[in-house]
Structure 1
């Protein structure tokens, strides 16, 4: 929660900005961006650590989880690490990216498995994460130093000197990055509040009933790796949209079509077979979560609508946070009505409705104000076909 809004906005702005500056300046710009994220992480986590008692009271978690300081150490390199991965993607360093991402995955896996094997607690799991975070920090620092003093960097400086230019701090690029990022940070931050509202509303509506809350949490599950897959695809598409809009729109349409096949297909398969495997995976204790899961799978509909990359690449970001606020207002009204008549399933469908409505409003904006028809960046026929099949599957499983 501490890092979602500002980090998401900066990442999206970086992917746009890095394609608009000279190659000789891009390397220095990327290094400064990583260091800036790291320094801001130190300041933010240092402040949060110093105010942890107040923070934990606000979050209603008492004295906080044991070993919380290890988790803060983990975040200290996790946030710059996420930015570092995007830089590696832009710089076309696939081997380094795979090794670094593999190290992150290994850390998560060992943090889960080692405490189970040795019968340890949460503190030991967080210690493992913090240890791997330290290693990742050394890797990031080493790469920054190597990149700065590598032969490529020297050749870039020589090229600038031959053209009568002096290597300098990329002030203009950083200023432009922050200018592009702030509305995206606002949008992502309000979006985080929209997501947090779901859990708060269930807790409020059912007066803190822990069994109902657990039923909702187990049912409101997205497809595994859904966010990672979509974000990974947009990392490739967004820079292309920025440097060559027409080719970028073609790439977005092609990429989204491939995502339709895998994500819609996966959601429909899970929905159709969930009655068979649900109790085997989650036991009979959470059988009441099954209808919620089946309904919540419709959230993939909003995840597969992509007006946002178009707006970001074209620089239409100033009032984006207003769209998130409108989504929150819609969710408050619809959830209140649906919860009264349909209970938890009504809340789930309200969440889906608000998400899809927000994306459709953005698409209308792109169509009428930016003059870009949805067919230009998505395969409407495949989308509607998969949506119809998903609705039919849902009707079948709830009969």
Structure 2
């Protein structure tokens, strides 16, 4: 294949490097002398930092991208986005500073006061630093996205894993994580001071906030499932079980990445000269082609996960494989694309309402299922909640837009693949293991 390095591919590569780094850190920590409690403390550190920032950071970055103009040679918009994100990060850091001690036992990480400072500093630096790769994206610097990602995540591996391998304890691993965050923050400031005009604009702030608020609300509702699951598990179990759940509660990234990329790539076709029928047929054809690859790949992972998890991590994380296998079933909803129709036809308010419904279903089922099915019940609740959301969106597309699901999905093929994966899941989880 002749693959031209575009900004899209570069940003995808950046995200894959990020995911691979998280996996490698988990693998090496599991094989190090760190105990389950210490690994659980690291997972809680990352979990808590993400839970207070993921929704508004996602919304503000998505709000920035369509507002940015190439004629803005002084990059006023970019600097003002940095200011807005920095203010919210400072507030989040203060909140996390006072809450952190509740989450970390002294025997896992040492002095609780130092952990509060490390978490606050990490959050203050790493959240705004997320703008760096998007600056390169806006400037169409594809190679720099890849180089920056490679340097950044190799450095993260070194700073976090060296203390773990040398037996210095989880406190030193967290300090390495903070040093990595400071490095990324300094890289962003280098870009700001060298290439960006540092000028405040009240007009831009109003524009950015106005565009981003709906996106923030959408990200909060639709992206909170993993944090809801985590909080429910943590409220019922100790750090060791929380670590087992977190190691398994990882959606197959290739499915998520390719499904989202496909959905976004189809959106411009709604504004083209093609008829709606032609666009719907393209979605149906290309989504079916994508399913031919992703469903078998998910099935292969499902069959091998119980062998891979003890091999990659250790025997303590064998139960994580079952949680991971449940999350693999999310492909049954990921490969349905009613949201693409609604976004393309500018009916996004319906998506917001469906996201609220999905969150309510997820919370209700998670609280219920955890009582009799444990951490696997929480994972099942997430799968059912996502299916509920896509089913509701498909019903709305048909009732409001008069577009039946058969117009844009190969339902028979999707059902065959889904039933095959569910049958394989039953055999693996209830017959073999």
- TM-score with structure 2 setting the length: 0.70
> Is it true that 1:121 corresponds to 2:186 in the alignment?
no
Please report how far the alpha carbon of residue 214 of structure 1 lies from its aligned counterpart in structure 2 after TM superposition. 2.9
Please report how far the alpha carbon of residue 284 of structure 1 lies from its aligned counterpart in structure 2 after TM superposition. 1.6
Contact 1:194 1:324 in 2 (8 A): no
Aligned match of 2:148 in 100, 103, 118?
103
Aligned to 1:293: 324
> Is it true that 1:6 corresponds to 2:37 in the alignment?
no
Please report how far the alpha carbon of residue 244 of structure 1 lies from its aligned counterpart in structure 2 after TM superposition. 6.2
Aligned to 1:130: 182
Aligned to 1:73: 125
Does 219-228 or 299-308 show the bigger shift? 219-228
Runs of at least 5 residues in structure 2 that lack an aligned partner in the other structure: 1-50, 106-111, 167-171
- TM-score with structure 1 setting the length: 0.75
> Is it true that 1:56 corresponds to 2:100 in the alignment?
yes
Contact 2:247 2:320 in 1 (8 A): yes
Please report how far the alpha carbon of residue 58 of structure 1 lies from its aligned counterpart in structure 2 after TM superposition. 7.5
Please report how far the alpha carbon of residue 66 of structure 1 lies from its aligned counterpart in structure 2 after TM superposition. 5.6
Aligned to 1:390: 421
Alpha carbons of 1:231 and 1:300: their partners in 2 closer, same or farther (altered >3 Å)?
Answer: same
Aligned to 2:373: 342
Aligned to 1:34: 78
Aligned runs of 1:175-194 on 2, under 5 Å?
175=207, 179=210, 181-194=212-225
Alpha carbons of 1:300 and 1:133: their partners in 2 closer, same or farther (altered >3 Å)?
Answer: farther
Contact 1:41 1:76 in 2 (8 A): yes
Aligned runs of 1:160-175 on 2, under 5 Å?
175=207
Aligned to 1:201: 232
Runs of at least 5 residues in structure 1 that lack an aligned partner in the other structure: 146-168
Contact 2:306 2:322 in 1 (8 A): no
Provide the rounded CA distance (Å) in 1 between the counterparts of 2:133 and 2:53: 11
Aligned to 2:347: 316
Please report how far the alpha carbon of residue 197 of structure 1 lies from its aligned counterpart in structure 2 after TM superposition. 1.6
Give the aligned CA root-mean-square deviation in angstroms: 3.7
Does 5-14 or 388-397 show the bigger shift? 5-14
Contact 2:84 2:205 in 1 (8 A): no
Instruction: Tell me the matched-pair count.
Output: 360
* Equivalent position SS for 1:390: helix
Provide the rounded CA distance (Å) in 2 between the counterparts of 1:202 and 1:143: 45
What per-residue deviation string (whole Å, max 9, x for no partner) do you get for residues 225-278 of structure 1? 544444444443444445668476565445534542343232111001223323
Alpha carbons of 1:196 and 1:367: their partners in 2 closer, same or farther (altered >3 Å)?
Answer: same
> Is it true that 1:271 corresponds to 2:302 in the alignment?
yes
* Equivalent position SS for 1:222: coil
Aligned match of 1:284 in 315, 321, 324?
315
Please report how far the alpha carbon of residue 222 of structure 1 lies from its aligned counterpart in structure 2 after TM superposition. 1.6
What per-residue deviation string (whole Å, max 9, x for no partner) do you get for residues 41-74 of structure 1? 1211233345553353677785445634144223
Please report how far the alpha carbon of residue 107 of structure 1 lies from its aligned counterpart in structure 2 after TM superposition. 0.6
Please report how far the alpha carbon of residue 395 of structure 1 lies from its aligned counterpart in structure 2 after TM superposition. 2.4
Contact 1:30 1:87 in 2 (8 A): no
What per-residue deviation string (whole Å, max 9, x for no partner) do you get for residues 317-342 of structure 1? 23544323322322233334433443
Contact 1:339 1:346 in 2 (8 A): yes
